Amino acid sequence: MKHIRKQPEPVEFVQWKSDFPSWNEGRVAKYDDLLNPLKNQVKDSLITEQGKICSYCGVRIHRRNTHIEHLKPQHNCTSEETVDYQNIVASCEGENRLQHCGHNKHEWYDANLFVSPLREDCEQFFTYTLNGEMEPCYDPVKGPMAAETIRQLGLDTAKMNALRKAALDGVLMMDDFSVELIDFFLQECQVPNEEGELLEFAAYLQGVLGVLRSKMV
């Protein structure tokens, strides 16, 4: 899981929420009222601020394979919270819309256990193996939170493990594999390229390559 630094929400989204009551007998806007093209504009904004990777698993995303995900599920929210830009991220659709990430999480929410990608320290909750496995850290407080978040989001499935391992193998098998190459990829995990993309599975590669680098110097 990669930390998401929220950017300002689209001006049009702010204006729509402000103007909505005047069009609807004073009722505030809720998420079900959000329609295209504005909805796609909000989704595009989320995708961009995440470096075009899923908020949870880190797979490459674009408008067609993504949905707007509520960190705090809609059924637990006030109307205002359902359109709060701080409560929404872009999640991949998962495998058959069920196996991982937002659709697997569905309506689960526990403020005491959920590790939000908006937490500045969220990356510290998880560790990774060379085989692509995602595991909770050993911290007595963070570990149980990470374990439940992994379970509820389906982030340690065989499919996800294989995808992460393949991404790592692509780096390890390069002929010029070196500390300098690791540093290049670590930079790509932190800063989007000219197309605004972070590396796919950036948090995983950052975690594993960082450990490998420490053993090489």
Q: Which of 117, 128, 125, 118 lies closest to 148, judged by CA?
A: 125
Structure tokens at 133: 């496995």
- pLDDT at site 97: 64
CB atoms within 10 A of CB 113: 15
Asked whether residue 95 carries a pLDDT value surpassing 90, the answer given is no
DSSP string, 53-108: B-SSS--B--GGGEEEEESS-GGGS-HHHHT-GGGEEEEE--STTTSSTHHHHTT-
Give the confidence band of 98 by pLDDT, cuts at 50, 70, 90.
low
CB atoms within 10 A of CB 36: 9
Q: Average of pLDDT values for 75-88? A: 96
pTM of the model: 0.92
Tell me the per-residue pLDDT of 52-69, one tens digit each, with 9 for 90 and over: 999 999 999 999 999 999
Q: Average of pLDDT values for 66-81? A: 95
- pLDDT at site 52: 98
Crossing angle of helices 202-216 and 179-190, in 10° steps, is 150
109 touches 72 (CB < 8 A): yes
Q: Which of 36, 48, 37 lies closest to 6, judged by CA?
A: 48
Domain residue limits, the chain: 11-216
